[in-house]
Chain A
Amino acid sequence: MTEQAHATTGTYLRVAAILVMITLIEVGVFYVPAFQGVLVPVLLVLSAVKFTLVVMFYMHLKFDSRFFTFLFGGPLLLALAVMIGLLFIFYGTVRLRTGS
């Protein structure tokens, strides 16, 4: 395996530090009342960042074949799309049924 373009121990530690920090921010945002309005989008974005960091660096996807990204990313996007579709159907239907 080539050593260039490959994460080092330092990178792993830095990623770990970022993950911990983001988690602390998430918990903080959860507890601070002023942020309630933007809680959901902020948390979604922050957790997406954590997700991406673990996948790209710890799972080495950034440095591996782009095909692996496709193998993982395709079904992941599918799962997201289906989840969103299902939520629209369920909550959209509720609105239509109750006429509100």
Chain B
Amino acid sequence: MARDTHAPPAHGHRTSMGLDSRKMAFWAFIGSECLLFGSLISTYLVYKGRSLVGPYPHEILNIPFTSFSTFDLLMSSLAMVLALAAIQRGDMKQGKLWLLVTALLGLVFLGGQFWEFSHFVHEGLGLTTNLFGSTFYVLTGTHGAHVTVGVIWLLTLWVQALRGKLGPANALTVEITGLYWHFVDVVWIVIFTVVYLIQ
């Protein structure tokens, strides 16, 4: 049976589904976030091609640069999952390292977003220039805000680890951080395809 349903609830309290409550709550939250980003992406798609003035997507989107951002975020997910695996088996040295790498890769992504946004503004695409600008900045900005929260979260965990307060016993916290981080990555996969590649 390929299913691992036996992760015991964190505090030893019996639960009626045998699942950890915090993990369940977090998956429900991620489900809810699908509707949040779905609405933003829908707005982007509904207004695609309806800008009254330029710049238009094909004039300004930089695929090579954004591919690098995508690659960066994918690698950060790998780092996250390696961090979790290390912490689960008690290897805190590796755990700390990979947590930091994940956060740094996230910062690189954010740096790239900042650079991209300022470049676009310089090229004449502001928030209020046209529908493309409005929908693009609100969608990718919301995503970027989520990444920022994630980076802060990861660095908080890293600091906890440095103080010796993180270990296999609270690996669930790291797992939930991972769920958040991977979800943010997965939303980017959708954005990269729908906004950048499908013009």
A residues at B contact (CB < 8 Å): 1-2, 4-6, 9, 12-13, 15-16, 19-20, 23, 26-27, 30-31, 39-40, 43-44, 46-47, 50-51, 54-55, 57-60, 62-68, 71-72, 74-76, 78-80, 82-83, 86-87, 90
Contacts and interface: CB of A to CB of B under 8 A. Distances in A.
Nearest to A39: B198
Contacts of B23: 68
Interface string B71-97: 100110110111001001000000000
A20 B186 CA distance: 14
B156 to A, nearest CB: 20
Interface in B161-199: 175, 178-179, 182-183, 185-186, 189-190, 192-193, 197-198
Contacts of A13: 78
A83 B45 contact: yes
B46 A2 contact: no
Contacts of B78: 12-13, 15-16, 58
Given A12-B82, A63-B4, A75-B35, 5 more contacts: A16-B78, A47-B193, A58-B78, A64-B3, A64-B5
Given A23-B67, A23-B71, A51-B189, A72 B31 contact: yes
B47 to A, nearest CB: 9
Contacts, number: 136
Interface of B: 1-7, 17-19, 23-24, 27-28, 30-32, 34-35, 37-39, 41-42, 45-46, 63-64, 67, 70-71, 74-75, 77-78, 80-82, 85, 88, 175, 178-179, 182-183, 185-186, 189-190, 192-193, 197-198
